[in-house]
A and B are shown apart, each in its own frame.
Chain A
């Protein structure tokens, strides 16, 4: 039995769980308000995903001849629902299944006090995971777009899970509206493709010469617009501000959004659109610049954040920026028939980031669960009370900081190397490489700032912290194990790179790619003989030591941050470079003013016209009814006057007029 044929069942498991949790009568639901069904749904998808991944690792894919079913027919184009399983989809399946399942398990402990509302929580989580699977295995842009929107809907529902809090309700709306800007761009992009190609199946679009009917400018526009979808979904600059606000949801939801679903969808979209992107170097450069700028801006914002989840949110944006930057640089390398390092590195970073970021968020959840606040200024000294959480979070922080041999080191180094090599082709990439290196330094600094503020030193407020229950610590330990080991996928078997080159090995209009790596030992030698590796490593270590000096050792006067130039800088960072404020001002002043004008137009002009006609009728009637006096003699007089006038007309005017 070919298990790949049944990959379409993966989203079905969580969807059935969603249906059961939401439709079962309250009395029969039982077992912690649906947690059991959620575990079963996520677990079923996990098992099937692993079977599919195993097939893909063994070199089987299912792309062109996958089973499809026609959904509707538009002209000569059949919109189908099908599956498209290659190494990229398998990678996403791995991420979604592992992180999703562990988050559901962890939720059993984290959401324990929520009572009845957990039912809604589990139902929404299951739908979220289900539609993310659907997005990952989609075989055409329309199917992808449908699930893309559903992912946005689920994130809205979950960010606003505590909708009684006004801040949560507004954060949910913000996430929905801001990502919608990207969704519109995505839709515009696929509409352009459909207009010129008449087909949106990957099988057709990724053929040689499929896009020859698209004019050059339109192709650039289409690929840039599709990337615009990723800007919204993956919280890239300038649409990144919704993600830090999305911290209003439960921490488990943040873990899911940041590590597995939602924001990874944008990176996945860019990676999936690679065959089109490599036809337009301009768009690739745009992709890379957005990625690099986002990485830097988000990292600077994380430096001054005091909310533990906000630090992690900005670090997510920053790491997503790395992935996007890597994809952009990788595309440049592919165009020039060089080793497609960026693509493999970015997807590798996507996987590693999923594990260590899920770990970091679930650790933060554990901390918040124990302390009851998000504010790091009120924490401190938790290491003594929460040994497992503090150790696993340290592992996560080391991984994201890029300390070997943890996973973050390998992928971040690969991304930066790819960007540096792309610098030979376009000097812009050298600049982006500098941004990337600076980001690596800041990442190490703010992650350890967070760790020291939370776990080291003395308690800065009154709380009775205790370690979380096993149902929460076991997922942490599993994820910590993955955060340590997932980087070694680079060396397992034929190597991660060889596998990930599969989806792009024969790109249209570019030809077969040139693979530069033969064996695992070659990769290791290349990494450790490259001076660039040591540049980023030294910077990361310096960042950690700096955080250690400022936030751990006594004697550093932190009030220096509040004075003079550094004070201004600090305030700019605390206000997130005023980007959020800019959007608020834009909304309140410009858009609200425009809305007032529209409102006035509606009330005065449109309503005025309607009311005016009714007044006209009423007033005319009011005047004319006076003629109806009831006096018969006046009627008779009027009739006679009318007859006389008619006769006069007939006798004098009509002959005179020549009629």
Chain B
């Protein structure tokens, strides 16, 4: 069984990649993709801790609560991507661009 630390390092790396993408990329689609990567980092954590909890308490049997939450999370992420892409589509129709540096009219 892979120790919990490996999973945590892996998910931290995924999160860092996601953050880096969100903060640096100009294309809104890529920003959206990076957000998906960050979400998956969180899902991995949920699954990893679920498995770790069961291994700490063998007498309780397999507890799949964390894994079920991860499934919920994936479903919600799918819905979120649909909404996000729809927004980006209408932004593009209005401004003919999806460069996040240019979409900054919501300000002082």
Spell out A's residues near B (CB within 8 Å): 625-626, 628-633, 636-637, 640
A130 to B78, CA, bound (A): 96
Q: Are A628 and B108 in contact (CB under 8 A)?
A: yes
List 10 A–B pairs whose Cβ atoms lie within 8 Å, in order of A's numbering.
A628-B107, A628-B108, A630-B104, A630-B106, A630-B107, A632-B104, A633-B24, A636-B22, A640-B19, A640-B23
Which of B104, B106, B108 is close to A625, meaning CB atoms less than 8 Å apart?
B108
Specify the chain A residue showing the minimal Cβ separation from B26.
Answer: A633
In the complex, the number of residue pairs spanning A and B with C-beta atoms less than 8 Å apart equals: 30
Spell out B's residues near A (CB within 8 Å): 19, 22-24, 31, 100-101, 103-108
Interface centre among A626, A628, A633, A636 (most CB of B within 10 A): A633
Contacts of B19 in A (CB 8 A): 640
| Chain B, interface SS category | loop
A159 to B106, CA, bound (A): 71
Contacts of B105 in A (CB 8 A): 630
Q: Are B108 and A626 in contact (CB under 8 A)?
A: yes
A631 to B101, CA, bound (A): 6
6 further A-B pairs in the complex, CB-CB below 8 A; given A630-B107, A632-B100: A629-B104, A629-B107, A629-B108, A631-B101, A632-B104, A636-B22
* Closest Cβ–Cβ distance, residue B34 to chain A (whole Å): 10
Contacts of A630 in B (CB 8 A): 104-108
* Closest Cβ–Cβ distance, residue B72 to chain A (whole Å): 24
A253 to B24, CA, bound (A): 95
Which of B22, B106, B108 is close to A633, meaning CB atoms less than 8 Å apart?
B22
Contacts of B31 in A (CB 8 A): 633
Specify the chain B residue showing the minimal Cβ separation from A627.
Answer: B108
Which of B22, B24, B100 is close to A631, meaning CB atoms less than 8 Å apart?
B100
Contacts of A640 in B (CB 8 A): 19, 23
A633 to B26, CA, bound (A): 9
Specify the chain A residue showing the minimal Cβ separation from B107.
Answer: A630
A545 to B106, CA, bound (A): 103
* Closest Cβ–Cβ distance, residue B21 to chain A (whole Å): 10
Q: Are A633 and B107 in contact (CB under 8 A)?
A: no
Q: Are A637 and B23 in contact (CB under 8 A)?
A: yes
Contacts of A632 in B (CB 8 A): 100, 103-104
Specify the chain B residue showing the minimal Cβ separation from A629.
Answer: B107
Specify the chain A residue showing the minimal Cβ separation from B106.
Answer: A630
A632 to B101, CA, bound (A): 8
Interface centre among B23, B104, B108 (most CB of A within 10 A): B108
Contacts of B104 in A (CB 8 A): 629-632
A630 to B22, CA, bound (A): 15
Contacts of A625 in B (CB 8 A): 108
Specify the chain B residue showing the minimal Cβ separation from A626.
Answer: B108
A579 to B104, CA, bound (A): 78
Specify the chain A residue showing the minimal Cβ separation from B22.
Answer: A636
Contacts of A629 in B (CB 8 A): 104, 107-108
* Closest Cβ–Cβ distance, residue B73 to chain A (whole Å): 20
A625 to B22, CA, bound (A): 24
A502 to B108, CA, bound (A): 89
* Closest Cβ–Cβ distance, residue B26 to chain A (whole Å): 9
Q: Are B107 and A636 in contact (CB under 8 A)?
A: no
A628 to B31, CA, bound (A): 20
Contacts of B103 in A (CB 8 A): 632
* Closest Cβ–Cβ distance, residue A647 to chain B (whole Å): 12
For the complex of A and B, the 8 pairs showing the least CB-CB separation, nearest first, are A630-B107, A630-B104, A625-B108, A628-B108, A631-B104, A630-B106, A628-B107, A636-B22
Contacts of B107 in A (CB 8 A): 628-631
A636 to B19, CA, bound (A): 9
* Closest Cβ–Cβ distance, residue B4 to chain A (whole Å): 19
